[in-house]
Structure 1
Amino acid sequence: MTDYILRETKGTPGAPLVFTFHGTGGDETQFHSLAEQLWPGAQVVSPRGDVSENGMARYFRRTGEGVYDMEDLAKRRAAMAIFVRSKIEETGAQRVIALGYSNGANIAAAVAFENPDIFTDVIAMHPLIPWTPAPQPGLATTRWLITAGERDPICPAPLTKSLLDYLRAQDAEVTEHWHPGGHELVQSELAAIQANML
């Protein structure tokens, strides 16, 4: 199993288990405190991506903007799934939430596509899934919140809409939230999390 550099907050028995996944160049602190505030008493686990791109931490390699090394993604996705399952086993949590932004949203989604039982809730902020995932009926038991910018140059709106279509075709419970800007996170996205995922 990959030994991630991570930040971890022990939770109270029966509380949710929350994983946070940072964006490119972020680290384990990017969303950790936010998760603690959103889900008081939760066990929060924030692993740092173990790939370096020009000194910036990521969860898997890419060969260009929006062009993924799919072989590396498959390897890193499998390692992350093993790590997540180990924490689920350790805590016995019934509700398991993934909160990720950009590259972090992508690794969370990639893990869920292959392991539909692993997260009960996925909050994917500005995801970019430039491939069509295989049908996954197990996703019907999951809840998703997708947040995006209408003019995001990194995660184009048509690809976000394709992801939404895919999830709805799997009968997942999906909420979408758009803001008029680009790749930046804005306050309304936090409000969408509070309205839909607490």
Structure 2
Amino acid sequence: MTASSYIAYRHGGEPGAPLVMAFHGTGGDENQFVELIRQMLPRAGIVAPRGDVSEGGANRFFRRTGEGIYDMADLAARTERMAEFIASTHAAHSGRPLYGLGYSNGANILASVLFEQPRLFNRVALMHPLIPWTPKPQPALARLPVFVSAGSHDPICPPERSRALIDWLTTQGAAVDPLITQGGHEVLQAELNALQHFMRIPDA
């Protein structure tokens, strides 16, 4: 498959406005965050790919062998392919800020791309990611705005994993905007409020 072969929702938005690339959670699809982005950034363009891995009929972006146990070889291959898709999409919208937004499995593939190629993005929002490994150092993350939200009672993503990711990003010099709520794996209104503030901060 080529990098451009993802099924995706596409909306051009207004010239010069940010382009938001959105990544759904397990079982979601390319429409999961369209209305949310339109409410937060009415002028923005949107490109939202559908995960091309099926797990019992549920769309995902990479394979796993159990809850929280990733097929790391598959993740590496799909991270490379997704990075190509993101780069080619951004090239088609030259000169526009590129924002990444992902939830759960979508946050995981977005984070994996971020670890390898942070210069693709102007800002990134990771909602309830689960990164069960320590990424290699990435100095190119310095000063990049990154929003990370998590729930302290999340049954899928242990809070210590969330804190480890926040600490790692901070160590790399990213401009981390963290939010850990008292919730679980669901997205709470407090997260949406914080996300909206983060997404609307003017680019430097």
Please report the TM-score for the alignment, with normalisation by the length of structure 2: 0.95
Residues 2-60 of structure 1: CA distance to partner in whole angstroms, max 9, x if unpaired?
31111111121111010110000000010112112211211100100000000000000
Q: Distance in 2 between matches of 1:56 and 1:93?
A: 35
**Pairwise CA distance, 1:125:** 0.4
Structural mapping, 1:149-168, within 5 Å: 149-168=151-170
Moved more, 187-196 or 17-26: 187-196
Q: Do structure 1's residue 21 and structure 2's residue 36 form an aligned pair?
A: no
Residues 94-144 of structure 1: CA distance to partner in whole angstroms, max 9, x if unpaired?
411111100000001000100010111111000000000000000014111
Q: Give the aligned residue type for 2:19.
A: L
Residues 65-114 of structure 1: CA distance to partner in whole angstroms, max 9, x if unpaired?
00000000001001111111111110114411111100000001000100
Q: Distance in 1 between matches of 2:133 and 2:37?
A: 29
Q: Do structure 1's residue 8 and structure 2's residue 10 form an aligned pair?
A: yes
Structural mapping, 1:35-74, within 5 Å: 35-74=37-76
Instruction: Report SS of the residue matched to 2:133.
Output: coil
Q: Distance in 2 between matches of 1:135 and 1:181?
A: 30
Q: Do structure 1's residue 187 and structure 2's residue 181 form an aligned pair?
A: no
**Pairwise CA distance, 1:178:** 1.6
Name 2:172's counterpart in structure 1: 170
Contact 1:16 1:93 in 2 (8 A): no
Moved more, 170-179 or 91-100: 91-100
Q: Give the aligned residue type for 2:59.
A: A
**Pairwise CA distance, 1:197:** 2.5
Name 2:148's counterpart in structure 1: 146
Q: Which runs of 4+ in 1 moved over 6 A?
A: none
RMSD: 0.9
Q: Distance in 2 between matches of 1:19 and 1:195?
A: 17
% identical aligned pairs: 53
Moved more, 109-118 or 34-43: 34-43
Q: Distance in 1 between matches of 2:158 and 2:64?
A: 17
Contact 1:23 1:101 in 2 (8 A): yes
Instruction: Report SS of the residue matched to 1:147.
Output: strand
Q: Give the aligned residue type for 2:8.
A: L
Contact 1:15 1:93 in 2 (8 A): no
Please report the TM-score for the alignment, with normalisation by the length of structure 1: 0.97
- Structure 2 residue aligned with 1:86, among 85, 88, 98? 88
Moved more, 2-11 or 53-62: 2-11
Q: Give the aligned residue type for 1:145.
A: F
Q: Give the aligned residue type for 2:116.
A: E
- The number of residue pairs the alignment matches comes to 198
- Structure 2 residue aligned with 1:105, among 98, 104, 107? 107
5+ residue gaps, structure 1: none
**Pairwise CA distance, 1:177:** 0.9
Q: Distance in 2 between matches of 1:93 and 1:111?
A: 21
Q: Distance in 2 between matches of 1:111 and 1:129?
A: 12
